[in-house]
Amino acid sequence: MDSAVQGKDAVRTALPDNRAIASLLAWNADAVLDAKYHLKELTVTIARDEIRGACLAVQAAGYNFLEDVTCVDWYPSEPRFHVTYHILSHSLKDRVRLVSPVESIDPTIDSITGIWPSANFYEREVWDLFGVRFHGHPELRRIMMPEEWDGHPLRKDYPVEGYR
């Protein structure tokens, strides 16, 4: 069985060759809130205000391809929204998952469209379905739902069959 390695220092020790965790800790160890290595996947939790810097740090470390931006709603616990980024490295053949917790009182986070333009649609989707706003996004409109839609359907407090 594959047991999890929890904690940023433990992960750093367990993965001495991993460039993602090394570069993130070298960049700003205070912004790295937590790290976890489970099922051969590295998850690094980044403070909300530092996500742009974290993306730049892993990009400089060779993680050149943004695969996905999505969100997980942990309602009713706080911080409620975990904005999740999957970043791939073509040269290292490795993937890192950055997670940024966002409080429901102020569901905003910096946009990373300036780093990877492909984040444009992904962030629009997160805004549309979760209601997390992205600062600095060039065109934060709904993408799936109609413009005049009320609510954000993928939130856990939104009923599966919709409001009747």
Partner 1 sequence: MPRSPELAKFIETSTLIKPRPEEGAKDRTMVLNMGPQHPSTHGVLRLVIEIDGETVLKVVPDIGYLHTGIEKTCEAKFYQQVVPMTDRIDYLCPMTNNLAYVLAIEKLLQLEIPDRAQWIRVLLNELTRLNSHLVWLGTHAMDIGALTVFLYCFREREDILRLFEHVAGQRMMTSYFRVGGLALEPPLDFFDRVKAFIKRMPEKIDEYENLLTGNPIFFNRLKGVGHLSAEDAIALGVTGPPLRASGVDWDLRRDMPYSSYEKFQFQVPVSNDCDVWARYVVRIQEMRESVKIVEQALAGMPEGRITADAPHVVLPDREKMKTQMESLIYHFKIVTEGFTVPAGQVYQAVESPRGEMGYFAVSDGTAKPYRVHMRNPSFATLQALQVMCEGRLIADVVAVIGSIDIVLGEIDR
Chain residues that interact with partner 1, rule: CB under 8 A: 1-2, 4, 38-39, 41, 43, 64-68, 70, 72-73, 84, 86, 90, 93, 95, 97, 116-118, 120-122, 129, 142-148, 153-154, 158, 160
Q: Shortest gap between Cβ of 49 and partner 1 (angstroms)?
A: 23
CB of 9: closest distance to partner 1 in angstroms?
Answer: 21
Q: Residue 51 Cβ, how far from partner 1 at the closest point, in Å?
A: 18
Contacts of residue 84, Cβ cutoff 8 Å, sequence gap at least 6? 68, 69, 70, 71, 72, 97, 98, 99, 100
**Complex with partner 1: residue 24 or 119, whichever CB lies closer:** 119
Q: Which CB, 6 or 29, lies closer to partner 1?
A: 6
Is the Cβ of residue 22 or residue 154 nearer to partner 1 in the bound state?
A: 154
| Other Cβ atoms closer than 10 A to 51 | 23
Shortest Cβ 25–partner 1 spacing (Å): 21
H helix or E strand, kind and range, residue 5: strand 5-6
Of the two residues 29 and 136, which places its CB atom closer to partner 1 in the complex? 136
CB-CB contact of 108 with 81 (8 Å): no
Element (H, E) at 55: helix 51-60
Residue by residue, DSSP assigns 69-127 as EEEEE-TTSSS-EEEEEEEEETTTTEEEEEEEEE-TTS-EEE--TTT-TTHHHHHHHHH
Closer residue to partner 1 (CB): 28 or 84: 84
Provide, rounded to whole angstroms, the least separation between the CB of residue 82 and partner 1: 9
